[in-house]
Amino acid sequence: MDWTTASANKRSALDATIPPEWRLDVSWNDDPPMGFWAKSRVLTPKELTITEMPATLLVQELANGKLTAVAVTTAFCKRAALAHQLTNCLHEFFPDLAIAKARSLDEYFAKHKKVIGPLHGLPISLKDQARIKGVETSMGYVSWLDKKETEDSALTMLLEKAGAVLYVKTSVPQTLLCCETINNVFGRTINPRNRDWSCGGSSGGEGAIVAMRGSIIGVGTDLGGSIRVPAAFNSLFGLRPSHGRLPYAKLANTMEGQEAIHSVCGPICHSIPDMRLFVQSILSQNPWMYDSKVVPMPWRKHEEDAIKTKISSRSLTIGYYSCDGNVLPHPPILRAVEIVKRRLAKAGHMVVPWQPYKHAFAADLASRLCVADGGTEIFSNLRASGEPAIPNIDYLIRPEQPKMDVNELWNAQLQKWNYQNEYLEKIRCFEEKHGRELDAIIAPTSPYACVRHNKFNYYGYATVINVLDYTSVVIPVTFATKSIDRASYQFAPLSDLDRLVQAEYDPEAYHGAPAAVQVIGRRLTEERIMCIAEELVRLLRDD
């Protein structure tokens, strides 16, 4: 069977999992996806209400018996089916299994009058990297089709142990190595706000389904921005935790065994309280007992309380930068950073410029480490089916791409470690100069508010944080406004890449695009950075 036939068969099989009564009239596909709810009669008014509730409230209503797991799961299965038909955000959909699981949770609750765990009855969506026993994990490779998993990933198992209901696996780009979401099996996933915009990647399916509220909390992964870019492009919240905080064991991956820059998993959601619910729920299951790389570090309330004390005394110290010195962000992103900076200062906190240190070097180092094998693994997966590479990753899989030998790889890894230590020294110098602890850094997540298809050309704003292995939380700030966010005609390009990125900006084309920032902290500071991000959200709303 050739790769095109195999892909067509898989798409047909996925379509068949959607019940006829959950299908949309194809004529509605001409509208922006996010605007279709008023026209759809698939969800009942109660189901629409359920899918609009925050996760923190849903788990409360499930725990007190006001909602059943079957009702909640059915509502999200329906909305996920609609989201997929409008954005193409799914790789796997298994509503029958999910509703059966929800029914067993309701039976347990009826018998014992208590919940199984902190996520009892809450549907959670998973990026296609997560292994679920009996379900396929294709990751957008044709050669990976028709192979059902024989075991669960550690995270999958822990989510079910906490009471979550699993019902979908979401779309990724071929190889996972680009910040758009397209592959030869399922095609392209689009942005719910505008069909011409990317949903981000590589956790793009999670960005789309959560934005459409076909999921309330979705699990993504991040090697170079793959949680943060979809969160930013879809006006959502995303957490890139440090390596070792949340379990990654037995997740499928590209470049498995690559240890120089670790991929991490984390949530994409609608609020910081929902983000905190997810992290606390996973940590409550002792993930270090199931993944040897997880640091045995339960949720540290004292770290959160330390930041709350600084917030109440208006004594946060926040660094910020608008440009990394390599590529200047588009006007909506520059304005978003300025909004956050101004609001923090107005609240009485100390806001000080941060000088990005060798970010161009770190971005280049990340690119070299991610193709240290010369593209051997990628070529192997593609050749197994005969499928071509998507255009977005041509730069990664050039046949002439050289492999690093062992000594070159060791040297590159040493450069990374040296860079991490140098960055710490810069933080120490900052703190000595100002006589205060640096609590966080505010920065762009990418140079784009959103990007048109096949136009994402610069990863540095996100990737440098992966090299440092710092904690980062994305928060939505504003939206691009064509009357305000005009391109500068006096612009002098910082580099050829900068010239390319700036040429893409069009105020008309990007009007209404979400503009976000990332809140960055040192390694393993998840409690602190989530708390600071939550305070920023409050300040922005008050403003």
Residues 279, 324, single domain; the answer is no
For tokens 């393993």, the residue is: 524
For residue 57, being part of any structural domain is answered with yes
Name the token pair of 247. Answer: 């379990």
Provide the H-helix boundaries in 213-314. Answer: 228-233, 272-283, 301-312
Which one is catalytic: 202, 242, 271, 446? 202
Domain CATH for 66: 3.90.1300.10
Q: Residue 1 — pLDDT band, cuts 50, 70, 90?
A: confident
How far is the C-alpha of 510 from the C-alpha of 307, rounded, in Å? Answer: 36
- Residues 425, 280 share a domain: no
CB atoms within 10 A of CB 501: 25
Model-level pTM?
Answer: 0.98
* Per-residue pLDDT reduced to its tens digit, 383-410: 999 999 998 887 766 667 789 999 999 9
- CA distances, 433 to each of 311, 351, 428, 430, 436 (Å): 22, 14, 9, 5, 8
| Residue 132 pLDDT exceeds 80 | yes
* Ranges of H-type helices in 150-300: 154-161, 204-211, 228-233, 272-283
- Looking at the structure, do residues 231 and 327 belong to the same domain, yes or no? no
Q: Crossing angle, helix 154-161 and helix 272-283, to 10 degrees?
A: 100
The single residue listed with the structure tokens 């208590």 is 114
The Cα 423–Cα 429 span in angstroms is: 10
Strand pairing partners for 238? 268, 474
Q: Tell me, yes or no, whether 429 and 285 share the same domain.
A: no
Active site residue 169: no
Q: Is 33 contained in some domain?
A: no
Split at pLDDT 50, 70, 90, the class of 474 is: very high
Question: Are 173 and 201 within 8 A, CB to CB?
Answer: yes
| Sign of the alpha-carbon dihedral angle for 241, 243, 246, 248 | positive
CA distance 466 to 177: 14
Question: What's the mean pLDDT in 261-265?
Answer: 97
Q: Cα 243 from chain centroid?
A: 15
pLDDT of residue 302: 98
For residue 29, tell me if it sits in a domain.
Answer: no
Whether the per-residue pLDDT at 28 is higher than 90: the answer is no
Residue 309 — very low, low, confident or very high, per pLDDT cuts 50/70/90?
very high
Respond yes or no: is residue 358 known to be catalytic. no
Tell me whether residue 409 is in a domain: yes
Q: List CB contacts of 341: < 8 A, sequence separation 6 or more.
A: 320, 351, 442
Structural domain range at position 319: 302-541
Long-range contacts of 16-22, Cβ-Cβ distance < 8 Å, separation of 24 or more: 17/93, 17/94, 17/95, 18/81, 18/84, 18/85, 18/93, 19/81, 19/95, 22/78, 22/81, 22/82
- Give pLDDT, residue 31: 72
β-strands 317-320, 237-240 pairing: unpaired
Query: Which pLDDT band, with edges at 50, 70 and 90, does 29 fall under?
Result: low
Check whether 35 has a pLDDT greater than 90. no
pLDDT score recorded for residue 399? 64
In a shared domain, residues 532 and 384: yes
Measured CA to CA, the distance from residue 248 to residue 274 in angstroms comes to 20
Residue-level pLDDT at 322: 97
Q: Could you tell me if 239 and 334 lie in one domain?
A: no
Residue 332 shares a structural domain with residue 267: no
- State the pLDDT at residue 38: 62
**Range of lowest pLDDT (4-13, 39-48, 388-397, 497-506):** 388-397
Q: Which residues contact 395 (CB under 8 A, 6 or more apart)?
A: none
Question: What is the distance between the alpha carbons of residues 543 and 535, in angstroms, rounded to a whole number?
Answer: 12
Domain count across the chain: 2
The catalytically annotated residue of 10, 101, 127, 310 is 127
Percent of the residues in the chain that have a pLDDT greater than 90, as a whole number? 91
Q: Using an 8 Å Cβ cutoff, are 469 and 243 in contact?
A: yes
Span 252-265, average pLDDT:
93
Is residue 490 domain-resident?
Answer: yes
CB-based contacts of 134, cutoff 8 Å, min separation 6: 148, 149
Per-residue pLDDT, averaged over 309-332, amounts to 97
> DSSP assignment of 461-501, as one string?
HHHHHHHHT-EEEEEEEEE--TTT-PPPTT---SSHHHHHH
Does residue 406 sit within a domain? yes
Residue 416 has pLDDT above 80, yes or no: yes
What pLDDT is attached to residue 490?
66
Residues 242 and 328 placed together within one structural domain of the fold: no
Does 30 score more than 70 pLDDT? no
Residue 307 lies in a domain: yes
The tens digit of pLDDT for each residue in 365-374 reads 999 998 899 8
Tell me the residue length of the chain: 543
Task: Pick the closest to residue 538 from 275, 347, 280 (CA basis).
Answer: 347
Which residue among 228, 257, 289 closes a domain?
A: 289
pLDDT at 541: 94
Same domain, 80 and 117: yes
Tell me whether residue 75 is in a domain: yes
Same structural domain, 413 and 458 = yes
pLDDT at 527 over 70: yes
158 with 196, same domain?
yes
pLDDT band at 27 (very low <50, low <70, confident <90, very high): low
- Cis peptide preceding 202, ω within 30 of 0: yes
Question: Among this protein's residues, is 226 annotated catalytic?
Answer: yes
Single-letter amino acid, residue 509? A
Q: Which residues are CB-contacts of 261 (< 8 A; sequence separation ≥ 6)?
A: 223, 224, 366, 369, 370, 416, 466, 467
Q: Of residues 138, 226, 242, 446, which has the active-site annotation? A: 226
| 278 and 350 part of one domain | no
Classify residue 543 as exposed, middle or buried by CB count within 10 Å of its CB (0-12, 13-18, 19+).
Answer: exposed
Would you state the pLDDT for residue 394? Answer: 75
Q: How high is the mean pLDDT of the chain?
A: 96
